[in-house]
């Protein structure tokens, strides 16, 4: 059973609970490292906690939710080995897995509704990296991250 880590800040407590339940209904185990009450917090701390679970292989993929999804994605993408994408629709959610081998999806409770969020999660979790021509491009992203990029 795939393990999915989920994190949220104070702007997304309600959506986190609904998305966690939805992911579990799809047959995944969910590791919750987000906050469960509406108390001010700092999204970089929560993004880091979630991404640590992916880097350590305790979880395979992550779902990060804040007000817009942008803050979580910015923080997550600073962590070596994380490729996080902000998505507000299903097409990008599917392609970020298939073409970019993204391991984290981010979105915002203040941007999309719960049904759209569920469809984004379903598209992201249901997609697989396609390799092929995309492998070389993802490798370039890794090379940039590791300071090894050559044009």
Three-state DSSP string of 114-148 = HHHHHHHHHHHHHCCCCCCHHHHHHHHHHHHHCCC
Confidence at residue 91, expressed as pLDDT on a 0 to 100 scale: 98
> Which residue out of 10, 41, 99, 134 is catalytically annotated?
99
pTM for this entry: 0.96
> Which residue out of 51, 66, 85, 106 is catalytically annotated?
66
For residue 10, indicate whether it is catalytic: no
Separation between Cα atoms, residue 11 and residue 13, nearest integer Å? 6
For residue 99, indicate whether it is catalytic: yes
Separation between Cα atoms, residue 7 and residue 54, nearest integer Å? 12
- For the chain (length 151 residues), average pLDDT per consecutive 10? 95 98 98 97 98 98 98 98 98 98 98 98 97 92 91 78
């Amino acid at each position: 059973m795939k393990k999915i880590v989920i994190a949220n800040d104070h702007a997304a407590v309600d959506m986190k609970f609904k998305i966690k339940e939805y992911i579990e209904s799809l047959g995944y185990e969910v590791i919750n490292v987000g906050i469960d009450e509406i108390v001010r917090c700092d999204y970089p701390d929560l993004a880091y906690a979630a991404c640590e679970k992916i880097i350590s292989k305790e979880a395979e993929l992550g779902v990060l939710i804040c007000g817009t999804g942008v803050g979580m994605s910015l923080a997550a993408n600073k962590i070596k080995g994380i490729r996080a994408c902000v998505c507000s629709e299903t097409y990008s959610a599917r392609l970020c897995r298939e073409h970019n081998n993204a391991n984290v999806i981010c979105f915002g409770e203040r941007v999309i509704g719960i049904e759209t969020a569920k469809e984004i999660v379903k598209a992201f979790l249901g997609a697989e990296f396609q390799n092929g021509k995309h492998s070389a491009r993802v490798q370039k992203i890794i090379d940039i991250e590791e300071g090894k990029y050559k044009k």
